[in-house]
Structure 1
Amino acid sequence: MNSYAVFLRGINVGGINIKMAELKAALKARPFSAVTTLLASGNVVLASELPAAEVKSEFESCLREAFGYDAWVVVLTAARVAELVKACPYPADDAATHSYVTLSSDAAALAELYDAGTALGGVELTLLGPEAMAWLAPAGGTLDSPFSKISAKAKYKRSTTTRNLRTLVKVRDAAAGLAA
């Protein structure tokens, strides 16, 4: 049995509201077990015999069928989430900045986003691997940061989602509990 973290893009914002209890109930009919939702921002840990690509496909199909919207998720193994948290060079808690990790199901899209952010300047970016990059935003200015605006472009919608590092730590801890 494999332990996974699933990161949903764009729920509970922009008119797409999904109660975590309803999400959990919808996932019961799928080949997943030990489904746990974290926070109300679209973070799920689960166990499955399926490989990650099939977990992604099953999960997205479930969201489309149960909630009627074009859903995109990023699926990582529990071990990979732990590696990304450990590799992040930025602090989880800092009064002056917020640390974020942008996750992607498309390495080329992430590389393009990284290049765009690097060319933009004014933001500290660190590639953590082909599926993740970490970045800093000033406290209280995340949505106004030029990099945040670039990463929110429609062309990245299908393949990327961003989480605060504190959230990723919580997901790591919950996913580790499945592997134990």
Structure 2
Amino acid sequence: MGSYAVFLRGINVGGINIKMADLRDALKSCGFLDATTLLASGNVVLSSSLDAAGVKQECEKCLRAAFGYEAWVVVLEAGRVAGLVDACPYPEDNKATHTYITLSSDTAVLDELEAAGAALERQDQQRLGPEALAWLAPVGGTLDSPFSKISAKAKFKAATTTRNLRTLIKVGDAARALAAG
């Protein structure tokens, strides 16, 4: 059995509203019996005998059936979340900026997003691995930041989702606890 963190794209932010209790119930009914949600932005930790690709496929199928929307998730092994947090060179929080990590299920899509961000003037970003890109946004201006506008484009939606560093720390802690049993 492997332990995984599952990050849902685009729920409870503009149109697709899912209660975390309903999300847990749906995943449990699809065989993820220990599914646990964290915060209200679609973060789940669970165990499965499937590999990460299998967990992604089953979660998306389950969410589409249960909630009737085009569900996309990014799945990481439990230990990988902590590794990404440790690799992030930016602060958890400071007065001027917020740290975000964009996660992707498709390396080529993240490569394209990274290149688009690198072309922006004064965009602080760092690749953390094949599935993650850390970046900074000004406090109070995240959604209006040039990089945020690029990452919101339709061509990136099916393969990426973004979390702030504080959320990734919480999910990583929960995933490690699940893995430890």
Normalization by structure 2: what TM-score? Answer: 0.98
CA distance in 2 between counterparts of 1:138 and 1:93 reads 11
Displaced runs of 4+ in structure 1, greater than 2 A? none
Q: Name the SS for the 2:119 alignment partner.
A: helix
Which residue does 2:14 correspond to in 1? 14
Q: Name the aligned partner's letter for residue 10 of structure 1.
A: G
CA distance in 1 between counterparts of 2:82 and 2:61 reads 27
Q: Name the aligned partner's letter for residue 117 of structure 1.
A: G
Which residue does 2:161 correspond to in 1? 161
Which residue does 1:179 correspond to in 2? 179
The question of 1:124 aligning with 2:118 is answered no
Q: Name the aligned partner's letter for residue 112 of structure 2.
A: E
Question: Conserved in 1, the CA contact under 8 Å of 2:28 and 2:34?
Answer: no
CA distance in 2 between counterparts of 1:141 and 1:84 reads 24
Q: Which moved more, 1:32-41 or 1:106-115?
A: 32-41
Which residue does 2:3 correspond to in 1? 3
Count of matched residue positions in the alignment of Structure 1 and Structure 2: 180
The question of 1:39 aligning with 2:32 is answered no
Please state how far the C-alpha of 1:48 moved relative to its aligned partner: 0.6
Please state how far the C-alpha of 1:110 moved relative to its aligned partner: 0.1
1:21-170 maps to which residues of 2 (within 5 A)?
21-170=21-170
- Deviation string, structure 1 residues 100-119 (Cα, Å, up to 9, x no partner): 00000000000000000001
CA distance in 1 between counterparts of 2:74 and 2:80 reads 12
Q: Name the SS for the 2:102 alignment partner.
A: strand
CA distance in 2 between counterparts of 1:100 and 1:13 reads 16
**Please, what is the CA RMSD of the aligned residues?**
0.7
- Deviation string, structure 1 residues 54-81 (Cα, Å, up to 9, x no partner): 0000000011000000000000001110
Please state how far the C-alpha of 1:40 moved relative to its aligned partner: 0.4
Q: Structure 2: any 5+ residue segments left out of the alignment?
A: none
Identical-residue share of aligned pairs (%): 72
Question: Conserved in 1, the CA contact under 8 Å of 2:101 and 2:163?
Answer: yes
Please state how far the C-alpha of 1:25 moved relative to its aligned partner: 0.5
CA distance in 1 between counterparts of 2:167 and 2:138 reads 17
CA distance in 1 between counterparts of 2:145 and 2:30 reads 39
Q: Name the SS for the 1:28 alignment partner.
A: helix
Please state how far the C-alpha of 1:29 moved relative to its aligned partner: 2.1
Please state how far the C-alpha of 1:28 moved relative to its aligned partner: 1.2
CA distance in 2 between counterparts of 1:71 and 1:168 reads 20
Q: Name the SS for the 2:142 alignment partner.
A: coil
CA distance in 1 between counterparts of 2:49 and 2:72 reads 21
Q: Name the aligned partner's letter for residue 59 of structure 1.
A: C
Please state how far the C-alpha of 1:122 moved relative to its aligned partner: 1.8
CA distance in 2 between counterparts of 1:91 and 1:174 reads 21
